[in-house]
Amino acid sequence: MVKSSKRLTLKQKERRKFLGSIALAVGVTGISLLGMVPVIGKWVERLRPPGALLEKEFLAACIKCGQCVQVCPVEAIKLADLTDGLGIGVPYIDSRAQACDFSCDGLQCVLACPTGALIHEISFPSQVDMGIAKVVQPAQCLAVLGQGFKGQARGPDFPGLLRYADIDRWNPIKVADHPYDLELCDLCVRQCPIEISIIECALEDQREPTGKVARVAQRQENECPPKHAIELRDINGAMTPVILEGCVGCGVCEMICPIEPAVIVMDASDSRANSRGMRT
């Protein structure tokens, strides 16, 4: 080994070093470009945090710091691994495991984002457009089957959190600690943050029908969702969950659905009508 390298002239050595260096640079570049494969191949379609831009812009703008992860009170946001290629270190939400239930109210992740990958103009859950819920197996749905639900929605071992305003307005608790007893299962509608917000707004209006001006100062313009997100509709005698225009794709209905696999799942693709960023 040593002998052969001694025999090389200085020029040959230089040439070898130069070629080696090119191989190094090309190798590093090549490996980094492999990161494009999962992205171009759309191997993973992730539900992104509230306010996320269209996937391409989102991947470009995200600086992969995880500040959104740190502020989320229900720890819904995770960072992707190298298997996501360019999406490494980019936040996503596995809504079946832990959905974003907007229990921070003020969209903390959006405020935390230093680069605008989560659009800063957004202030209220109803302006969010993470995705849209899809009823994928209506035949399994308890409501469609006319059945009720009793017990813990996802079993005793499910670690997921939800905010139950009637129990604690400020601190989310385990879904497992909040058993239900329903004559007809309507968990997806009952726990929908948009639907809850609509009910709260209506109650507030009822409570103080005369004090509207005073309340306007407290309650900002877009705080109350303008449109419903989900309802149980009587279709040919079966109460069927129907996703409406107000759905923001938060994934709570998917998380709370007691059927395995879930009757409702999130569509997080860019191809939806309202696509990512902020609703207008």
Partner 1 sequence: MVESLRVLLGGTPRRISKKDMPEEVRELHQHKFADKERIEAIHIELREKAANKQPEKWRRKRWLVLAAVNLLFLVSYYLDIQLLEGALTASRFAGFHMADLNSALQVMLAFKHVVINLLIGTVTIFILWWLLGGRTFCSWVCPYHLVAEWAEMLHLKLVKKGWARDYQFDRRSRTWLWLVFVILAIVTGYTIYETISPTGILSRALIYGPGVALIWVALLLLFEIFFSRRAWCRYACPIGLTYGFVGITSPFTVHYELPNCFHEGECRKVCLVPHVLDTVLKGRAREIEVDIGADCTRCLRCVDACPTGALTVKFKGLGDLL
- Per CB under 8 A, residues contacting partner 1 are 17-18, 20-22, 24-25, 28-29, 31-36, 39, 56-57, 59-67, 69-71, 79, 81-83, 85-86, 88-89, 112, 114-117, 120
Strand partners, 266: 133
Measured CA distances, 142 to 152, 181, 247, 258 (Å): 15, 13, 21, 9
Whether residue 234 contacts residue 146, with contact meaning beta carbons closer than 8 Å, is answered with no
Q: Quote the least distance from Cβ 5 to partner 1, whole Å.
A: 10
- Give the up-direction half-sphere exposure of residue 49: CA atoms within 13 A in the CB hemisphere: 34
CB of 16 to partner 1, least distance (A): 10
Q: Minimum Å distance from CB 218 to partner 1?
A: 26
Cβ nearer to partner 1, comparing 91 with 193: 91
Residue 88 or 201: which CB sits closer to partner 1? 88
Residue 86 token pair: 């360019």
For partner 1, which is the closer residue by CB, 64 or 178? 64
CB of 183 to partner 1, least distance (A): 41
- Residue 90: CB minimum distance to partner 1, A: 9
Give the 3-state secondary structure of residue 70.
Answer: helix
24 or 184, CB closer to partner 1?
Answer: 24
Query: Among residues 77 and 144, whose Cβ is nearest to partner 1?
Result: 77
Smallest separation (angstroms) from partner 1 to the CB of 175: 22
CB of 71 to partner 1, least distance (A): 8
Q: Whose Cβ is closer to partner 1: residue 112's or residue 252's?
A: 112
Q: Could you give phi then psi for residue 34, rounded to 5 degrees?
A: -55, -25
- Whether residue 125 contacts residue 272, with contact meaning beta carbons closer than 8 Å, is answered with no
**By the 8 A CB rule, do 161 and 98 touch?**
yes
Query: How far apart are alpha carbons 278 and 177 in whole angstroms?
Result: 34
Which alpha helices (H) appear in the chain, and where do they start and end? 2-7, 10-34, 36-40, 55-61, 67-71, 108-112, 187-190, 193-207, 212-218, 252-256
57 alpha carbon, distance to own chain's centre: 17
Dist CA 108 CA 169 (whole Å): 17
Nearer to partner 1 among residue 3 and residue 207 (C-beta): 3
